[in-house]
Amino acid sequence: MTRSRTPEGTRERILATAERMFAEHGVFSVSNRQISDEAGLGNNTAVSYHFGSKAELVRAIYLRHSEPVELMREKAVDEHAGSTELRDWLACLVRPFTGHLASLGSNSWYARFVAQLMTEPKLRELDLVDVGQTPLQREVDDAVHRCLPELSPEVRAERDEMARTLIVHMCARRERDLPEDTAAIWNATATGLIDALAGLYRAPSHL
C-alpha cells in the first residue's frame, strides 16, 4: 500500500484538509462529511473513524503544531535563562511561533487556524487547552512580569491577553499572502511584533 492508503496516511490527509478548511471557513462552518469529501476519501465516516469527534480533530491539529513550537520555546527559554531584559522574554513568546510558521513554507494555514481558536466562543465547549496557556508559556509570562514590577497584576494579565491576540492575528494576516522566501518575512514579522509588544508592555498604566 502507498502511504496515502495507510491509516496513518489517511489521518494526515484529514488533518491537513481540516486545518485548511477550518482556517478558511471556521470550525463550526465545516462538517466532517465536507472534510472527507475535500480530502478525497470515499468513506464519509472517515473523520469520525479516525478522530471520534470534532473536538478531538481540533485538538489533534493544535497538538500537531504546538509540540514543535514548544520545543523551540524550550530552547529559547534555556538560552535566556536569568535574563532581566524584557525583549529577551518577548522573543521567547514570538519567535517559536513564527519560526514554526517559517518551517511550514508558503503553503501554511496554521496561524489562521489558531486565530479561529482564539475568536470562536463555542470552542470553549470543546474543553481545549486555551491558546497561549501551556506551562512553558506561563513560565515566559512570569519572566515578562518580573521585568515589569511597576505594573499591577491586573494590568499585566490584560496586556498578556493583548499580546497573545496581537501575535496570532498579525501572523494570520501575514500568512494570507506569503512570498516564496517565508523565512525572511517571518523573521521581519517577529522583529516587528517584539518591537510592538515592548511598547505595549512598557506603556504607562492609569489603573
At residue 24 the predicted structure's pLDDT band, cuts being 50, 70 and 90, is: very high
**% the chain with pLDDT above 90:** 61
How much is the average pLDDT of 62-76? 93
How much is the average pLDDT of 152-165? 94
Q: What's the pTM? A: 0.89
Mean pLDDT (the chain) is 88
Q: Is the pLDDT higher at 56 or at 166?
A: 166
CA distance 85 to 161: 20
Return the domain boundaries, the chain.
1-52, 64-202
Of 20-24, 94-98, 127-131, 145-149, the least confident: 127-131
What pLDDT is attached to residue 2?
A: 38
pLDDT at 4 over 60: no
pLDDT at 179 over 90: no
**pLDDT, tens digit, 9 for 90 and up, residues 184-207:** 999 999 999 999 999 999 999 887
At residue 162 the predicted structure's pLDDT band, cuts being 50, 70 and 90, is: very high
Q: What Cα–Cα distance (Å) separates residue 129 from each residue in 107, 118, 123, 136?
A: 26, 11, 10, 13
pLDDT at 32 over 70: yes
**CATH code 1.10.287 for 1-52:** no
The DSSP letter of residue 128 is P
Give me 105's grid cell.
513554507
Of 28-32, 70-74, 93-97, 98-102, the least confident: 28-32
Contacts for 144 with CB less than 8 Å, ≥ 6 apart? 86, 89, 90, 93, 156, 160, 201
